[in-house]
Structure 1
Amino acid sequence: MKNINFRKQLVSNDFLRSFALLASGSVIAQIITILISPIVTRLFTPEQFGLYTIVITAMSLFGPVICLKYDMGIVNAKSEREAFSLILLCGIMIVPLSLLISILYSMTVIRGNYSLLQLWGYIFAIAMLLITYGLNNILLAYNNRHGLYKIMSSVTVIKSLVNNILLVLSGISKLGVIGLLGSQIISSLVGLKRQSKSLLGNIRYGKNIGFIEMKQVFLDYKKLPIFNASSALITTSVYSSINLFIAIAFSAQQLGLYSLSYRVLGIPFTIISANIARVFFNSATKEFNSRSNFSKTFKSTLILLIITVVPIILIIAIFSPWLFSTVFGVEWANAGNYIRLLAPMFAIRLISESLTTSFIVSKKQNIELLFQSMLLLGLLIIYTLSYFLNTSIEVFLVYISLLYLLVHGIMIFKMYKISKMKIN
């Protein structure tokens, strides 16, 4: 009994240590962003942020699925050889998919009185953002496989520092949307070399991998593109469609205000959810392999999320109206009011999305797909009603928050039930 308790304590300590390493980098990165944001919001207008958001939405929408989710298989591949087969498979997908998506998105979504040169500029920007996003996904998955959280953490800090310095310089230079996009692209490229150190050190496992081996992993992990990529695309469509709807139904200025409120509420998401999700996936997989369920990891992670997330979101919601007008400038004051309306949505989403790899661990990805489809359907109904009833943006955001509370609340309960099941 003492040995069992010791092992449980060791697992718990490893989880917290891994999370602390990842979170420390995210915290430093977000502190840099917070310190620089009052300068940036005075160098760029809400309209410029709105136009930038329309372009960057392409990355948010398609970036997570640019490898068709085969990058998720790298984490729990049975061998290094298999992991490198998946890496090569992901690598050959990124460029053609990025180019195709960037052309189609620019032709259909980015509309206006743009010259051919400007349109090709947007196509190039989107393609570069997607390619770097895909490479980053591969490296993050491989480093997560080997528990290299210190490297992952340091890269997060470097990218944030570079991005914010470039934002200030481009703002001073009056580069507008070009400066915003350029800063994002360059910062995305930074850190790839450092993050690829471990992968390059084990490159011998990837030698002489041919078509047959890539075809084998393509088939062995076919559930990832069928269920996880489909679910992730619906998930990103859910969040990205809000940006696009605001741009269509309201204005670029209101989209800029919304994007800033989304960015501020995204701070705890970046620090907590994204990092806990990686560590949870690793720990839950290990528990599942040894016990055929992962209830202990799920319950401890859920409790940690609740006691962390709820107070943070509550504090942000209470002080946001005063904070935005004081720190970011008077023209950004309404973004603080948007935060109060969006707080319930972000709290439940932050908790839920930290745990959604439960569906991968239990091999029940079809259930996640069902939930995300429900959420997308609910959003489409809200979009239709809001558009034809000509509702205000405040009422629209209240509807969105209520929908998220309902669907993600049910999803968390379902994941809890799944975590207790014995699955062979």
Structure 2
Amino acid sequence: MNFKKISISSSMKNVGKISFGTILGQLISIISLPIFTRLYGVEVIGYFALFNATAIIVKSFSDLGLTNAIMIEESEESAGKTYKVVSTVSLIISSIVGVCVYTFSEVFFGTVDINNIFVAVTITILIFTSQQIQLCYTWLNRRKQYDVLMKNPIINNTIASVLGLILGLIGFLEYGYYISIMVGQIFTIVHMKRFLPKGFFCFDTRHYLQSFKKHKNFLTYQMPSNIFLQIKGQLPILLISIFFGSKILGYYSVSMRVLGMPITLLANSLGKVFFQRVSELNRKGEQVGEFTLLSLEKAMKISFIPIVMMLSLGDLVTALLFGEDYIVSGNILRVMTLYGFFLFLSMSVNGVAIVIDKQKYLLVSGFFQILGISSGVWLGAKIFNDIYFSLLGLSMTFIIIQIVYFCAIFKVSNIKIKRYLLPLLKAILVIFVIYFVIRSVLLFLGIVDTY
């Protein structure tokens, strides 16, 4: 009992700190998103989704899988060396990819009606700044500097929103949206870098050899796992762009921004604190399985209300926020809600496989999810020519593999699988019962015409 109270209570206080800043930042983002969709248009949103998806995939290997190694370094000096090694490698890979994007832009971005040099520079900056933000987050999380982390979403979203609004109003509509987001990320890095080791880069080859040898499991398992994880996450964007075009991609991007709000608001905060806490427990030689299960059950309860509301009212809220033209986004949001529920759970216990040295589980899980997602979207596009069928196939594949993955995690953690499955099934059942009741009332009142 003491373990439960002390661990969860301490963790939730830290979650609260991070969540407070995240909520304020997301409120700014929520207010600006309807303005940006009207100001810049759905196609610009779709193009950025494509650029960002490319950057995220490259970011998955631009650190060689070593970012999370910072958390488990025993000394501050070793952690600092690893940080600089990863920063240098990330810059080199980002630059190489930028050159390749420009050289082969007609092959990969031929349908994008934007200057090739701007596309290449944008993707390069997005890769490097995203990796730096992740590195800084990891370092500050290790140091438990949650007050610093709390301010990041506010800084990022404020700069991006204000600058994006100014650039849009003065008519800089072709590039303004992209520039505002990049500047927001740069300001976020500047804010965090004050609390990190001086310097970005490492020029001593011995440090590279030491890091690669010491953390070979991260290179062998974590990096491929990260690649599979991010390809899995961004693959829908790439496939939707190919099969359905940039306009539908824009609608999908808007719906996923809405779906991602509770994940950004809460799950990321839960996951960051969980990773720090579970790493600490592991370093002390304590069992992490029980704490993981408790954290997962807590995440089910926290995510319950937003998931039910999006499943029941997603189409109405989207039409209200963005206009009737975005009804496609509302329908996509409802189709993807259960996917969002399982993603929330996964993000809330982020890093557990790393801590228990089972990175290969992430690798296998990612591989099968890529196969399943590709098949689901392709079948929906080719057989039904319907975005909703494609996304339904994607969701079902993700859910099944997530359940199998956590069953494997709990099995090696000496936790009975039914202790995970029973609360999960109960949560899903209650979600659908309440959803059915709400939609029935809305149908009766004539507010909606379908379940």
Aligned pairs, number: 412
SS class of match (1:378) = helix
Render the CA deviation track for 1:11-50: whole Å, top value 9, x for unaligned: 3322111111111111111111112222222212112211
Match of 2:108 in 1: 109
Which residue in the other structure is 2:270 paired with?
276
- Give the deviation of 1:110 after TM superposition: 1.0
| Gap runs ≥5 in structure 2 | 416-451
**TM-score normalised to the size of structure 1?**
0.91
Give the structure 1 partner of residue 122 of structure 2. Answer: 125
Q: How does 1:145-164 map to 2 (within 5 A)?
A: 145-164=142-161
Q: CA deviation at 1:212?
A: 2.0
Match of 2:351 among 352, 357, 369: 357
Find 2:212's aligned residue among 218, 221, 238.
Answer: 218
Q: Equivalents in 2 of 1:161, 1:329: separation in Å?
A: 24
Q: What is residue 448 of structure 2 aligned with on the other side? A: none
The C-alpha deviation readout for 1:38-87, integer Å capped at 9, x for no partner, is 22222121122112221222222222432122111111201111111101
CA contact (8 A) 1:359 1:368 kept: yes
CA distance in 2, matches of 1:177, 1:60: 22
SS of aligned partner of 2:284: helix
Letter in 1 for 2:38: R
CA spacing shift, 1:177–1:52, aligned 2, 3 Å: farther
**8 Å contact from structure 1 (residues 49, 177) kept in 2:** no
Mapping of residues 192-203 of structure 1, within 5 Å: 192-200=189-197, 203=198
Deviating more after overlay: 323-332 vs 339-348: 323-332
Q: Is the 8 A contact 1:42 1:329 kept in 2?
A: no
Name the structure 2 match of 1:141: 138
1:342-368 deviation per Cα after TM superposition (whole angstroms, max 9, x unaligned): 001111112123324111011111111
The partner residue of 1:191 within 188, 191, 214 is 188
CA displacement 1:105-146 (0-9 Å, x = unmatched): 45242113768xx11111111111111112212211110110
For residue 136 of structure 1, what is the amino acid of its counterpart? I
**Deviation string, structure 1 residues 191-219 (Cα, Å, up to 9, x no partner):** 2222122224xx59x99984323311221
Structure 1, unaligned runs of 5 or more: none
CA distance 1:238–1:362, change in 2 (3 Å): same
Asked whether the 8 Å contact 1:234–1:372 carries over to 2, the reply is yes
Higher relative contact order (CA 8 A, sep 6+): 1
Of 25, 28, 34, the match for 2:30: 34
User: What is the deviation of 1:164?
Assistant: 1.0
More displaced 10-residue stretch of structure 1: 225-234 or 287-296: 287-296
RMSD: 2.2
Q: Which residue of 1 aligns with 2:227?
A: 233
**Bigger mean CA offset, 209-218 vs 65-74:** 209-218
Paired with 2:130 and 2:112, the residues of 1 have a C-alpha distance of: 29
- Structure 1 residues 231 and 199, CA, compared in 2 at 3 Å: closer, same or farther? same
Q: Which moved more, 1:167-176 or 1:150-159?
A: 167-176
Match of residue 79, structure 1, among 75, 82, 87: 75
Counterpart CA distance in 1 for 2:5 and 2:381 is 53
Could you tell me whether the CA contact under 8 Å between 1:30 and 1:267 is conserved in 2?
yes
After TM superposition, the structure 1 = structure 2 runs for residues 238-317 of structure 1, keeping only pairs within 5 Å, are: 238-317=232-311
Q: Distance in 2 between matches of 1:37 and 1:343?
A: 20
Query: 1:198 aligns to what SS in structure 2?
Result: coil
What is the match of residue 99 of structure 1?
95
Q: In structure 2, what is the equivalent of residue 172 of structure 1?
A: 169
Per the alignment, in what secondary structure is the counterpart of residue 124 of structure 1? helix
